Chains A and B, each alone.
Chain A
């Protein structure tokens, strides 16, 4: 029983990171119905920026995280302007290829700049255990990662629903041509989405590697992206709440189903892929996605 509970806690803390990255994917998907395969690498790169700011520049940890989020937002905005915007947003194949190219390029650049060895990452949250429940420990780390995703989801929801740029972003997500005819400049609006997504992803990686059991390395998000894509798809790809629940669900599947079904740890990625397959097969719009129903 205590082991089971412990696995739930572990699943939740892994799931929280998938949820953050999934929210970043959802932001881009909402606007462009495109999955940015480089989202995980954007986040990893942002994680290294945070590390450099904190350890080499001596900036306090949370200051470094906020600054790192801002810098990665600017970098993503530049990438959007130079590599994404010149292409027709309705034609997905070239864009998917570009994001795959970015995936490889950013991974390689991070390896050249920071080498491929894992590096210790400063702690972001108080260490140690918060509670002992039935023999299982709930760490402060898990509690704070869960709080972080709720704060991020709340912040994004407010941004999308209560601000003018949020309204423009939702409009562009819904109908590009009608948005232009309402005076919305589509390019800068999408750029805003890319920037926000990169900032959220950076926070996600910072939280992920802030765990005492993990380190930062260029490969850190390569499998994380698969989990995040599965999480986002499970949640419906265009729903922030769905991304959170999807992320937590994938984390739980990974930490509970995998050991109990006797799947070797090396194959735990398979759990995510199986979930993704089942979703696509039986409920393509995900648990909370907007089904494409339109009256004419």
Chain B
């Protein structure tokens, strides 16, 4: 059945990344662009750019009817959703199916099941996989608070329709339980249009380990090993790596086989990720399954040598998997850093601005999946992630060294980014030894945002000497006046 023309229903770095593989495979390509949006790398790669409209740019990227209509109009026979936006929206998949267009991803039924955290948990638990102690509001709303209390503290409140850390709250004391439930409900309603909640035991100092799986929808499922994603701020990952420094070979096999088993249980089609909470005693619990390509998929590509987007396109075209489990090995070590427009020293406040100078690192073992161009504008219309820096090295120490060199040479001027903060994480001895948990960034906040050497005078000299008006004024002033000066102390 093949794919002759692919519409990428996304933007930024992931659109560019998907388009690159589609081009290599000889597929004609198209990508979306909101009428107010700046030109990005994806628009330069695609054969065709389709303008979409909407009250806000995000609303346009979520407009199912408009995007399906665009795919039909340009004669696309397949749509790749990237991540975020409509990538896990069962109604979008159903609308594409109706229009006779291939969705590069799982069936709408699987998305429906795994997208609802509560149903997904129940499904996984019924099949004998471990989940953390929990209370589900829907089971009996009247007793929800009581049952939440029984889960024990600390506990974690999550919106059942949630994702990406939105609306999640840790509660440590009974006195704040009810007010936190109300806040989480409000946030759930606003972000997901769904205020239903569930509560689960919060595992102290856990790791977040996930497994990349891929299925052909014909009963064949393979895994591409794990990714360690414990470095998170506000429940959002900013550094990911593989292999995980925490796992022994035996544990690695166990967790990866568990993930493949869960994917097999739903006869999974396409790329997916099974996320686990990994406790310090080595036990692990199913967290959720993401039925799409993940932001951090490149680290898996770097160590396995597989192009996961190429695999997705093969499966969507009915060509099946290109490899069996025995063909998929981990070679060396890979780390991904998410370059975000934000101020790490002020609570990760999103930053906006014009990109006045952009010079991205290159070199052996360095890959940059970028969503920005020199001269572009960073606005609050979209997520603050600008690009991803991915490195590969023969071992973890060399990968960290390469990541540090590369992030130090990542020049983005005109908008505040987290490059210095990412470098501080890489330089931390606990990161080097691999002794981290999802609480690491919060615990080490002071160390990680400590000011470096005071170079204020050098910076002021640069700012003064590059200030053309100031320099011109200084050079025109006659000697006599200069001596009299305006300097007051």
> Real complex partners, A and B?
no
Interface residues of B (CB under 8 A from A): none
